Amino acid sequence: MRNLTSLIMTLCLATHALADGVYLGGLMNHLNVGVAAPVNGSFPLVITFDDDPGDGLLMVPGEPPLDPPYDVLEDRAYNAQYGWLRQGRWGPGPGEGVFIERIDSTPGLHIYEGAYGTDAGGGISGDLNGEHTLAPIFSTDDSPAYWQWDGRMTHHWHVTDEPGTYEATFSVYVAQDLNGTPGSLSELFIPGEITLTWIDNVSTPDYTADDIDAISLALRTDTTTPDMDYDNNGIVNNDDRTYLIQTLIGTLPADTNLDFTVDLLDLSNLAASFDDTNTSWTQGDANGDGTTNLLDLSLLATHFNTDAVPTPSTLALLLPLTLSATRRSAA
């Protein structure tokens, strides 16, 4: 199910178009590679962001059809906002090259070669569309883990097929250039590292209300399984249930029919099973405790029709149910 926020992002961030229907995913965020003061005669490479990406950059959907080579993005989530950019006047010595190597990453993250070059004077150079080869790099499809960088601003394509949070740690170093393969490290530069993060909440998962019910029951009975670690932090708890509902499915608490809004249809589901036990998500058990009661009604009221102010007639429908529920709970 496609997260509505991500769809809006796709429309609103329609700058930097590289081909019909293809965008970086938002404003560029450069990975500025510069040098710090020397340490024992060697210059540390330092990598900084243009802007703090926070929890990570949002992936956008690759809507088909896309012309080659961009067809590798079709029906997948992608982002190319991060761009490598040399900061200051430094470079490799004779017979050396600058290499970027993926040293660790979340499984399922694929990277394809891109470009968006600048010359030494800062001007755009080259055919921006043609330079994006979309060839697999950084261990994608058995490619080498390293990639030789010519120092120009370069935006690669980071692609995923399943929703979740993805990280990759890269090392930038200067080494002997053995026909494109790194040899021994340069003694003049100390390698630098940076970790990048992306959030894919636009892939089409198979998650349904049954998955919500399954993790809710497992949490109540202490029978969780590793595949319920939806936020990939190694721990299964209520945060995974929240992540499943709000990030992977992309909806709100109490959206019992999963139509991406909390409205009278959800209120009807809740009312039909009010005060019942052994209830499910579709029966109004919004908090996952197995009972449809005032706690679920409170969640529904909190998120009710969040895109608009409830009308007096809507409030009039909520009030009798609340009063009735209060009386039954007190009885």
State pLDDT tens for residues 35-76.
Answer: 999 999 999 999 999 999 988 998 888 888 888 889 999 989
The torsion of the CA quartet 88, 93, 95, 101, rounded to 10 degrees, works out to -50
The residues facing 42 across adjacent strands are 39
* CATH 1.10.1330.10 is right for the domain spanning 211-330: yes
pLDDT of residue 247: 79
Q: What is the pTM of this model?
A: 0.59
Backbone angles phi, psi at 310, to 5 degrees: -55, 140
Q: Where are the alpha helices (DSSP H) in 21-62?
A: none
**Buried b vs exposed e over 37-54: b needs ≥16 C-beta within 10 Å?**
eeeeeebebbbeeeeebe
Q: How far is CA 165 from the centre of its chain?
A: 5
| Mean pLDDT across the chain | 83
Lowest-confidence range among 90-99, 199-208, 232-241, 262-271?
199-208
Q: Helix, strand or coil for residue 95?
A: coil
Q: What is the pLDDT of residue 262?
A: 86
| Measured distance between the N- and C-terminal CA atoms of the chain, rounded to whole angstroms | 41
Query: In the predicted model, what is the mean pLDDT of residues 241-251?
Result: 86
